[in-house]
Homo-oligomer: A and B are copies of this chain.
Amino acid sequence: MPSTNLPRLTQAQAPLTHEVVVVNEFGEATPISIPAERALTVYVDKRELVTLMTLGAHPELLVLGFLRNQRLVASVQDIESITVDWDVGAAAVKTREGIDDIEKRTAKRVVTTGCGQGSVFGDLMEEVDSLVLPPATLTQSQLYGIVNAIRLKESTYKSAGSVHGCALFKGEELLIFVEDVGRHNAIDTIAGWMWMNEGMTGADKAFYTTGRLTSEMVIKSAQMGVPIVVSRSGITQMGHELAQRIGLCTIGRATNKHFLCYSGQDRLVLQPELAGSKLRS
Protein backbone atom coordinates (compact mmCIF):
# COMPACT_ATOMS: atom_id res chain seq x y z
CA MET A 1 0.00 0.00 0.00
CA PRO A 2 1.65 3.29 -1.03
CA SER A 3 2.22 5.73 1.78
CA THR A 4 0.12 8.34 0.01
CA ASN A 5 -2.81 6.38 1.41
CA LEU A 6 -1.84 7.22 4.97
CA PRO A 7 -4.03 9.81 6.66
CA ARG A 8 -2.97 13.44 6.69
CA LEU A 9 -2.37 14.53 10.27
CA THR A 10 -1.92 18.01 11.66
CA GLN A 11 0.84 18.50 14.23
CA ALA A 12 -0.98 20.50 16.85
CA GLN A 13 1.26 21.78 19.62
CA ALA A 14 0.42 22.77 23.16
CA PRO A 15 2.48 23.24 26.34
CA LEU A 16 2.87 19.99 28.29
CA THR A 17 3.45 21.52 31.68
CA HIS A 18 1.98 24.44 33.53
CA GLU A 19 3.47 26.41 36.42
CA VAL A 20 1.45 26.97 39.56
CA VAL A 21 2.29 28.37 42.99
CA VAL A 22 1.73 25.99 45.88
CA VAL A 23 2.13 26.24 49.64
CA ASN A 24 4.24 23.61 51.37
CA GLU A 25 4.32 22.30 54.94
CA PHE A 26 6.52 25.20 56.07
CA GLY A 27 3.93 27.68 54.82
CA GLU A 28 6.21 28.68 51.96
CA ALA A 29 4.79 29.62 48.56
CA THR A 30 6.75 27.82 45.83
CA PRO A 31 6.31 27.60 42.06
CA ILE A 32 6.07 24.05 40.68
CA SER A 33 5.24 22.45 37.34
CA ILE A 34 2.17 20.29 36.91
CA PRO A 35 1.22 18.31 33.80
CA ALA A 36 -1.24 19.79 31.35
CA GLU A 37 -4.63 18.10 31.00
CA ARG A 38 -6.93 19.23 28.24
CA ALA A 39 -10.18 18.09 26.73
CA LEU A 40 -10.09 16.88 23.13
CA THR A 41 -13.50 16.26 21.61
CA VAL A 42 -13.35 13.84 18.71
CA TYR A 43 -15.69 14.33 15.76
CA VAL A 44 -15.88 11.57 13.15
CA ASP A 45 -17.26 12.90 9.86
CA LYS A 46 -18.69 15.84 11.82
CA ARG A 47 -20.44 13.58 14.33
CA GLU A 48 -19.33 13.95 17.98
CA LEU A 49 -17.90 10.66 19.24
CA VAL A 50 -16.13 11.18 22.55
CA THR A 51 -14.14 13.63 24.65
CA LEU A 52 -10.66 12.48 25.70
CA MET A 53 -8.75 14.14 28.51
CA THR A 54 -5.10 14.22 27.53
CA LEU A 55 -1.70 15.73 28.21
CA GLY A 56 -1.75 16.80 24.58
CA ALA A 57 1.64 15.71 23.27
CA HIS A 58 0.43 13.71 20.26
CA PRO A 59 -3.29 14.37 19.83
CA GLU A 60 -3.56 13.13 16.23
CA LEU A 61 -1.87 9.79 17.00
CA LEU A 62 -3.98 9.48 20.15
CA VAL A 63 -7.20 9.86 18.17
CA LEU A 64 -6.00 7.44 15.49
CA GLY A 65 -5.01 4.85 18.10
CA PHE A 66 -8.26 5.35 20.01
CA LEU A 67 -10.26 4.58 16.86
CA ARG A 68 -8.02 1.57 16.26
CA ASN A 69 -8.15 0.16 19.79
CA GLN A 70 -11.88 0.70 20.08
CA ARG A 71 -12.20 -1.27 16.85
CA LEU A 72 -14.12 1.54 15.23
CA VAL A 73 -11.78 1.60 12.24
CA ALA A 74 -10.39 -1.57 10.69
CA SER A 75 -7.51 -0.09 8.71
CA VAL A 76 -5.44 3.08 8.79
CA GLN A 77 -6.33 3.59 5.13
CA ASP A 78 -9.94 4.15 6.14
CA ILE A 79 -8.95 7.53 7.57
CA GLU A 80 -8.39 10.45 5.22
CA SER A 81 -7.29 13.05 7.75
CA ILE A 82 -7.21 14.05 11.41
CA THR A 83 -7.17 17.76 12.13
CA VAL A 84 -6.59 18.93 15.69
CA ASP A 85 -7.25 22.50 16.77
CA TRP A 86 -6.32 23.18 20.38
CA ASP A 87 -8.02 26.60 20.29
CA VAL A 88 -11.35 24.79 20.29
CA GLY A 89 -10.17 21.47 21.77
CA ALA A 90 -11.41 19.51 18.79
CA ALA A 91 -10.13 16.69 16.61
CA ALA A 92 -11.93 16.40 13.28
CA VAL A 93 -11.61 12.93 11.77
CA LYS A 94 -12.48 12.55 8.11
CA THR A 95 -13.00 8.98 6.94
CA ARG A 96 -12.87 7.89 3.33
CA GLU A 97 -16.14 6.03 3.38
CA GLY A 98 -17.76 6.60 6.78
CA ILE A 99 -17.95 4.13 9.66
CA ASP A 100 -20.72 1.56 9.41
CA ASP A 101 -22.98 1.20 12.40
CA ILE A 102 -21.07 3.76 14.44
CA GLU A 103 -24.13 4.37 16.61
CA LYS A 104 -24.55 0.71 17.37
CA ARG A 105 -20.87 0.02 17.86
CA THR A 106 -20.40 2.73 20.45
CA ALA A 107 -23.62 2.00 22.32
CA LYS A 108 -22.39 -0.75 24.63
CA ARG A 109 -20.17 0.53 27.34
CA VAL A 110 -17.68 -1.32 29.48
CA VAL A 111 -16.42 1.00 32.17
CA THR A 112 -13.20 -0.63 33.17
CA THR A 113 -10.64 -0.04 35.79
CA GLY A 114 -7.16 0.89 35.00
CA CYS A 115 -6.86 3.44 37.61
CA GLY A 116 -10.14 4.93 36.71
CA GLN A 117 -13.20 3.81 34.98
CA GLY A 118 -11.76 3.30 31.54
CA SER A 119 -14.00 2.82 28.60
CA VAL A 120 -13.94 0.13 26.02
CA PHE A 121 -16.82 0.26 23.65
CA GLY A 122 -18.36 -2.81 22.20
CA ASP A 123 -17.62 -6.40 22.85
CA LEU A 124 -13.87 -6.45 23.14
CA MET A 125 -13.91 -9.15 25.77
CA GLU A 126 -15.67 -11.46 23.39
CA GLU A 127 -12.93 -10.94 20.83
CA VAL A 128 -10.18 -12.04 23.15
CA ASP A 129 -10.43 -15.71 22.37
CA SER A 130 -9.95 -15.09 18.68
CA LEU A 131 -6.61 -13.38 19.26
CA VAL A 132 -3.52 -15.37 18.32
CA LEU A 133 -0.20 -13.96 19.44
CA PRO A 134 2.91 -14.63 17.38
CA PRO A 135 5.83 -16.58 18.83
CA ALA A 136 8.40 -14.19 20.30
CA THR A 137 10.81 -14.15 23.20
CA LEU A 138 12.64 -11.59 25.29
CA THR A 139 15.85 -12.26 27.15
CA GLN A 140 16.43 -11.15 30.73
CA SER A 141 19.26 -9.01 29.37
CA GLN A 142 16.89 -7.26 26.95
CA LEU A 143 14.39 -6.78 29.77
CA TYR A 144 17.06 -5.01 31.82
CA GLY A 145 17.84 -2.90 28.76
CA ILE A 146 14.17 -1.86 28.57
CA VAL A 147 13.99 -0.92 32.26
CA ASN A 148 17.17 1.12 31.91
CA ALA A 149 15.99 2.91 28.77
CA ILE A 150 12.81 3.97 30.57
CA ARG A 151 14.79 5.23 33.54
CA LEU A 152 16.56 7.66 31.21
CA LYS A 153 13.29 8.94 29.72
CA GLU A 154 10.17 10.25 31.45
CA SER A 155 10.60 13.92 30.72
CA THR A 156 7.21 15.25 31.83
CA TYR A 157 7.16 12.85 34.76
CA LYS A 158 10.50 14.14 35.95
CA SER A 159 9.54 17.78 35.65
CA ALA A 160 5.90 17.62 36.71
CA GLY A 161 4.98 14.13 37.94
CA SER A 162 1.47 12.71 37.68
CA VAL A 163 1.73 11.23 34.20
CA HIS A 164 2.00 7.68 32.98
CA GLY A 165 4.62 6.57 30.52
CA CYS A 166 4.28 3.93 27.84
CA ALA A 167 6.83 2.77 25.31
CA LEU A 168 7.32 0.38 22.42
CA PHE A 169 10.53 -1.63 22.16
CA LYS A 170 12.08 -3.92 19.59
CA GLY A 171 14.34 -6.04 21.76
CA GLU A 172 15.88 -3.38 23.97
CA GLU A 173 15.71 -0.70 21.28
CA LEU A 174 13.30 2.08 22.24
CA LEU A 175 11.10 2.93 19.25
CA ILE A 176 8.71 5.43 20.81
CA PHE A 177 8.04 6.77 24.30
CA VAL A 178 4.76 8.50 25.15
CA GLU A 179 3.59 10.18 28.32
CA ASP A 180 0.01 11.13 29.08
CA VAL A 181 -2.17 11.91 32.06
CA GLY A 182 -4.07 8.76 31.11
CA ARG A 183 -2.21 5.52 30.64
CA HIS A 184 -4.78 4.29 28.12
CA ASN A 185 -4.13 7.43 26.12
CA ALA A 186 -0.43 6.59 26.11
CA ILE A 187 -0.99 3.09 24.75
CA ASP A 188 -3.54 4.35 22.23
CA THR A 189 -1.02 6.91 20.99
CA ILE A 190 1.47 4.13 20.39
CA ALA A 191 -1.18 2.18 18.50
CA GLY A 192 -1.72 5.23 16.31
CA TRP A 193 2.02 5.61 15.75
CA MET A 194 2.33 1.95 14.72
CA TRP A 195 -0.42 2.45 12.15
CA MET A 196 1.37 5.44 10.68
CA ASN A 197 4.49 3.31 10.20
CA GLU A 198 3.38 1.08 7.40
CA GLY A 199 4.05 -2.61 7.65
CA MET A 200 4.92 -2.41 11.35
CA THR A 201 3.63 -5.36 13.32
CA GLY A 202 3.65 -6.02 17.02
CA ALA A 203 5.10 -9.49 16.58
CA ASP A 204 8.69 -8.62 17.45
CA LYS A 205 7.86 -5.85 19.89
CA ALA A 206 7.44 -5.41 23.63
CA PHE A 207 5.31 -2.81 25.39
CA TYR A 208 6.37 -1.00 28.52
CA THR A 209 3.91 0.77 30.78
CA THR A 210 4.35 2.49 34.12
CA GLY A 211 0.74 1.56 34.93
CA ARG A 212 -0.80 -1.60 36.25
CA LEU A 213 -1.54 -4.58 34.05
CA THR A 214 -5.32 -4.56 34.19
CA SER A 215 -7.61 -6.48 31.86
CA GLU A 216 -7.87 -3.52 29.54
CA MET A 217 -4.11 -3.13 29.15
CA VAL A 218 -3.73 -6.82 28.41
CA ILE A 219 -6.48 -6.71 25.81
CA LYS A 220 -5.06 -3.64 24.11
CA SER A 221 -1.59 -5.16 23.89
CA ALA A 222 -2.97 -8.37 22.46
CA GLN A 223 -5.12 -6.51 19.95
CA MET A 224 -2.04 -4.79 18.61
CA GLY A 225 -0.31 -8.15 18.32
CA VAL A 226 2.36 -7.34 20.89
CA PRO A 227 3.13 -10.56 22.80
CA ILE A 228 5.22 -9.14 25.69
CA VAL A 229 4.24 -6.45 28.20
CA VAL A 230 6.49 -5.02 30.90
CA SER A 231 5.33 -2.87 33.81
CA ARG A 232 6.85 -1.14 36.78
CA SER A 233 3.61 -1.88 38.60
CA GLY A 234 1.63 -5.07 39.32
CA ILE A 235 -1.19 -7.03 37.76
CA THR A 236 -4.86 -7.60 38.58
CA GLN A 237 -6.62 -10.95 38.59
CA MET A 238 -8.48 -10.39 35.35
CA GLY A 239 -5.38 -9.06 33.64
CA HIS A 240 -3.62 -12.23 34.75
CA GLU A 241 -6.39 -14.56 33.61
CA LEU A 242 -6.69 -12.95 30.20
CA ALA A 243 -2.92 -12.94 29.71
CA GLN A 244 -2.74 -16.64 30.52
CA ARG A 245 -5.63 -17.41 28.19
CA ILE A 246 -3.98 -15.76 25.20
CA GLY A 247 -0.36 -16.60 26.06
CA LEU A 248 0.70 -13.00 26.60
CA CYS A 249 3.94 -12.65 28.54
CA THR A 250 3.34 -10.21 31.41
CA ILE A 251 6.24 -8.95 33.52
CA GLY A 252 5.66 -6.60 36.44
CA ARG A 253 7.44 -4.91 39.36
CA ALA A 254 10.28 -4.31 36.93
CA THR A 255 12.74 -1.98 38.62
CA ASN A 256 16.52 -2.24 38.58
CA LYS A 257 17.27 -5.97 38.43
CA HIS A 258 14.02 -7.10 40.02
CA PHE A 259 10.91 -8.35 38.19
CA LEU A 260 8.09 -10.88 38.43
CA CYS A 261 6.90 -12.79 35.37
CA TYR A 262 3.17 -13.43 35.82
CA SER A 263 2.26 -15.30 32.64
CA GLY A 264 3.73 -16.54 29.37
CA GLN A 265 6.95 -17.54 31.12
CA ASP A 266 7.96 -19.49 28.01
CA ARG A 267 8.51 -16.19 26.20
CA LEU A 268 11.03 -14.97 28.77
CA VAL A 269 14.57 -16.33 28.36
CA LEU A 270 15.84 -16.32 31.93
CA GLN A 271 19.45 -15.39 32.63
CA PRO A 272 19.48 -15.52 36.45
CA GLU A 273 23.23 -14.93 36.45
CA LEU A 274 22.45 -11.32 35.45
CA ALA A 275 20.27 -10.76 38.52
CA GLY A 276 23.20 -10.17 40.84
CA SER A 277 23.44 -11.25 44.43
CA LYS A 278 20.36 -12.53 46.21
CA LEU A 279 21.41 -10.40 49.13
CA ARG A 280 20.13 -7.25 47.43
CA SER A 281 17.61 -5.34 49.48
Contacts and interface: CB of A to CB of B under 8 A. Distances in A.
Nearest to A164: B115
Interface residues of A, number: 73
Contacts of A215: 37, 53
Interface in A8-34: 18, 20, 22-27, 30, 32, 34
A116 interface: yes
A233 interface: yes
Contacts of A108: 48
A114 B111 contact: no
A98 B260 CA distance: 48
A117 B40 CA distance: 12
Contacts of A183: 115-116
Please indicate which of the listed interface residues A30, A260, A274 has the most CB atoms of chain B within 10 Å of its own CB.
A260
A260 B22 contact: yes
A262 B34 CA distance: 10
Nearest to A36: B237
A214 B39 CA distance: 12
A175 interface: no
Nearest to A16: B237
Nearest to A212: B162
Contacts of A110: 39, 50-51, 53
Contacts of A74: none
Contacts of A35: 234, 236-237
Nearest to A161: B234
B112 A53 contact: yes
Given A37-B214, A214-B37, A236-B162, A182 B25 contact: no
A257 interface: yes
A206 to B, nearest CB: 16
Contacts of A235: 34, 162
A216 interface: yes
Given A20-B262, A25-B275, 16 more contacts: A25-B257, A35-B236, A36-B236, A37-B215, A51-B110, A53-B113, A113-B181, A113-B182, A114-B114, A114-B117, A115-B182, A115-B211, A116-B211, A117-B185, A119-B119, A162-B236
